Amino acid sequence: MNERTRKNVNEAFIGEAKAYQRLLMYARKAESEELPQIAKLFRAVAESEGIHARRHFALLEKVSDTQTNLENAFQSENLVNGVYYPKMLKEAEEDGEKTAMVVFSQARDVESVHAKLYENALKHMMEERDIDYYICPVCGYLNEGIPEENCPVCGAPKEKFYKVE
């Protein structure tokens, strides 16, 4: 693909992916304000932006077979956990941005859990397993099965975890 167009597709992907998340947050807010129809509209437009994001992504990268995807996902978790977040954390520290420091360091810790989950999945890909994942709504920490302890990354109470469907 032409370099400029590729850059534009990448920017369009980032914009649509961001809009998708933003609109889902708007939908939650509308729900909390008891405006279900508006919440539904935000979710509907989010879904539509999601389609745009995926179409753009398909122009940027080919989605491979699952074994390769697991390997890629594993490597990218290691990269964010080992390189990107530590750099961002250090810079937030230099800038005295305390909230960003907490968010970056917790995200970094959760990424290392993702890497372990992928590594494990690669080893057991062909086995029949039925594991439910429970997620911490604060920091995104994932637990295999119902959590027995509070979140090891951010300390959120275990009762707050919800099952990923």
Binding site for Fe ion (CB under 5 A): 77, 111, 114, 136, 138-139, 141, 151, 153-154, 156
Q: How far is the CB of 121 from Fe ion (least distance, A)?
A: 13
Shortest spacing between CB 26 and Fe ion, in angstroms? 23
- Which residue number, 12 or 156, has a Cβ lying nearer to Fe ion? 156
Cβ nearer to Fe ion, comparing 12 with 138: 138
Question: In the complex, what is the shortest distance from the CB of residue 153 to Fe ion, in angstroms, rounded to a whole number?
Answer: 5
Closer to Fe ion by CB, 39 or 135: give it: 135
What string of DSSP letters covers 78-142? Answer: HHIIIIIHHHHHHHHHHTT-HHHHHHHHHHHHHHHHHHHHHHHHHHTTTS-----EEE-TTT--E
Of 56 and 114, the one with the shorter C-beta distance to Fe ion is 114
Cβ at position 106, least distance to Fe ion in Å: 7
Buried b (16+ CB within 10 A) or exposed e, 126-162: eeeeeeeebbbeebbbbbeeebeeebebbebeeeebe
